[in-house]
Amino acid sequence: MSTETISASRTVLIVDDDDLLRDVLCRLLRRLGYVVIDAKHAADAVRLLESSGDAIDAVVTDVYMPGMRGSELAEVVRTNRPETPVVFMSGYDEGDMVRNGIDTSSKFLKKPFTISELQMAMSSRAGVQVGLSVSDTGTGMDPKIAAKVFEPFFTTKGVGKGTGLGLATVYGIVQQAGGDIRLDTTPSIGTTFEMTFPLAIGQAPSEAVQAPPLEPARKSETILLVEDDSAVRSLGHRILSDRGYRVTSAASGSDAIHFFRAAKQPFDLLVADVVMPGMSGGELADRLTTLHPEIRILLISGYTDDEVLRRGIIENELPFLQKPFTPSQLADKVSEVLRTKRKETQRLKRMLRLA
């Protein structure tokens, strides 16, 4: 496994005539510690490259733009900065671009893509990885069980003794980080899990930031949990009830509105899946904030980061939790949202309508 290091501080040039996408990419990369500059047109990017000396470490450009195309910009970069990686991004397939005479020797990402995929593509040392392996000397697993260990809610434990979310959560975390996880198991000998990750290229914080301790749940706090998957709904209900909250569960947006209207007092928090049949979590949140402006919102989803971006959640900084999550992650996020003071109602409603 290579131990090659990558500079902690990187400057990225984002070029795209789509103002919204360009702005979102800039925001997300800055949160990860990158220095980001951007241009709407390739010609503007060329001027930035000429004036920046050696300051730009990677160029991320859309392929099809008015005037100068991204492929032409890539030629300028290859000629004058051969060591600088260029990443193409496009809603078209790579094959479509080849048929239209676009040189795809640069790295290519089809929209939508995850931030982890973009980070790997921007690395001038793509393929450099770090690994972690964990082994035991237990009983091992037969092939049928080994094939299912990463499936949510699969467990070999008895009823009430396991959630079946442990390895599913690990798998989700590894995938979100752009990594891979494999297992090697032999009955009566043991099991080894091996995880590999792209070497981090963002800027590491100089000091660990300690989050303030979360307050315990108040017994008076009420939560309306809306999830169309019965297993996830049951698990979430149990996790939050065990933390001392009073929880009402609903399988759909229409059921949730019925429970909301029938409640003797307004709920403190709505926890809702983003994508549900009939009424989405964002639409439900919009309806409930109309009825009770002080209700707090937490949206959850198993969709990728880019799907969530398209629905206006991360972009507008709505409270959000990615599935799969651990019991402590759900409880901590709920506590955090309940302690956060409500922004002005009109701003929240405007954001929710994008979801």
Specify if 35 maps to a domain: yes
C-alpha span between 104 and 120 (Å, rounded):
17
166 in the same domain as 226:
no
> Does residue 319 register a pLDDT over 80?
yes
Specify if 2 maps to a domain: no
C-alpha span between 29 and 119 (Å, rounded):
9
Report whether 288 contacts 261 (CB < 8 A). Answer: no
Domain boundary among the residues 75, 102, 122 is at 122
C-alpha span between 76 and 81 (Å, rounded):
8
**What does each C-alpha distance from 225 to 31, 76, 183, 233 come to in angstroms?**
30, 53, 35, 7
Specify if 44 maps to a domain: yes
- Quickly tell me which residue has 């979360």 as its tokens: 214
Instruction: Give 189 or 249, the one with higher predicted confidence.
Output: 249
Closest CA to 13 of 33, 35, 30, 43: 35
176 in the same domain as 134:
yes
Report whether 50 contacts 79 (CB < 8 A). Answer: no
Beta-bridge partner residues of 300: 273, 321
C-alpha span between 22 and 35 (Å, rounded):
14
CA-derived radius of gyration, the chain = 24
139 in the same domain as 107:
no
Specify if 330 maps to a domain: yes
Banded pLDDT at 313 (limits 50, 70, 90): low
348 in the same domain as 226:
yes
Where is average pLDDT lowest: 7-21, 35-49, 122-136, 175-189?
Answer: 122-136
135 in the same domain as 117:
no
Look at the chain and count its residues.
355
The pLDDT of 168-182, averaged and rounded, is 77
154 in the same domain as 86:
no
273 in the same domain as 190:
no
pLDDT digits over 212-264, tens only? 444 555 557 999 999 998 878 888 898 899 889 999 999 999 999 999 999 98
Domain membership of residue 53 as a residue range: 11-122
Beta-bridge partner residues of 129: 198
Max mean pLDDT among 1-15, 110-124, 244-258 falls in 244-258
190 in the same domain as 88:
no
232 in the same domain as 327:
yes
Specify if 328 maps to a domain: yes
Domain boundary among the residues 122, 153, 187 is at 122
Domain boundary among the residues 77, 106, 122 is at 122
Distance of alpha carbon 45 from the chain centroid: 28
241 in the same domain as 336:
yes
What CATH number has the domain bearing residue 313? 3.40.50.2300
Contacts by residues 157-163 (CB-CB < 8 Å, ≥ 24 positions apart): 163/235, 163/327
pLDDT (0 to 100) of residue 14: 95
Domain count, the chain: 3
